[in-house]
Amino acid sequence: MNPTPPHPDTLQATALVDSDHPAVQAFAREHASGSTDRERAIALYYAVRDGFRYDPYRIDLSAAGMTASSVIAAGWGWCVPKATLLTAVCRAAGIPARLGFADVRNHLSTERMRQTMKTDVFAWHGYTDIWLDGAWRKATPAFNVQLCEKFGLLPLEFDGTSDSIYHPFDRAGNRHMEYVKQRGTFNDLPLAEIVATFREIYANWLPGGDATSQLQSADFSADVAAEAKPG
């Protein structure tokens, strides 16, 4: 089956995939090194993966909190904003990119997060779909390498020729991640759909009309470090 070629929108800025934002443009100019789209996409992937720490406690589902540029301003993000940032910087570098989503089981979490979410399924996990050498390649920049080292996970690598998706097992051979539902690809961030799903299934996490997680005041890195200790 021939892959669907990129739509013109996969190179365009939107309000959320704000590839025209000065900070996004500057990031792309600084990090998109290489002579080919593949080389530049790889460089951008690692710059986003490791340049911004993963923090699912600080979810902000407001429009302002979900832009690509907000990740640069904050220095951290969870899977969806980090995928949005990678999508935006690829577009800023002239590489077609779009957003992809799936529901996953056993997403990296802590006991505090599991008790709050009341489920081990993380809906609308985000990744980036990048058009390289005539095909769409999945790239998942969520977990920075430092976090993987603390949690005993295998960091996701991206070579621009194969999909970079979550490993089913961690370094110790324990079950880590299972894809349970594909939600498809989107040229823009489907924020309204994400918000509706989160409000439906994560009532304790985002109660009432709140746009921000109830875990905002907690320290994800400290919880990860505590739970990663032997014994």
For 212, list phi and psi in degrees, rounded to 5: -115, 150
Rg (CA), the chain: 17
Please report the pLDDT score of residue 193 as a whole number.
96
Tens of pLDDT, residues 125-172:
999 999 999 999 999 999 999 988 887 888 899 999 999 987 766 677
Q: State how many domains the chain has.
A: 1
Whole domain around residue 105: which residue ranges? 8-206
pTM of the model: 0.93
Inside any domain, residue 109: yes
Inside any domain, residue 223: no
For helices 22-31 and 37-51, what crossing angle results, to 10°?
120
Strand pairing category for 53-54 and 76-77: parallel
CATH code assigned at 111:
3.10.620.30
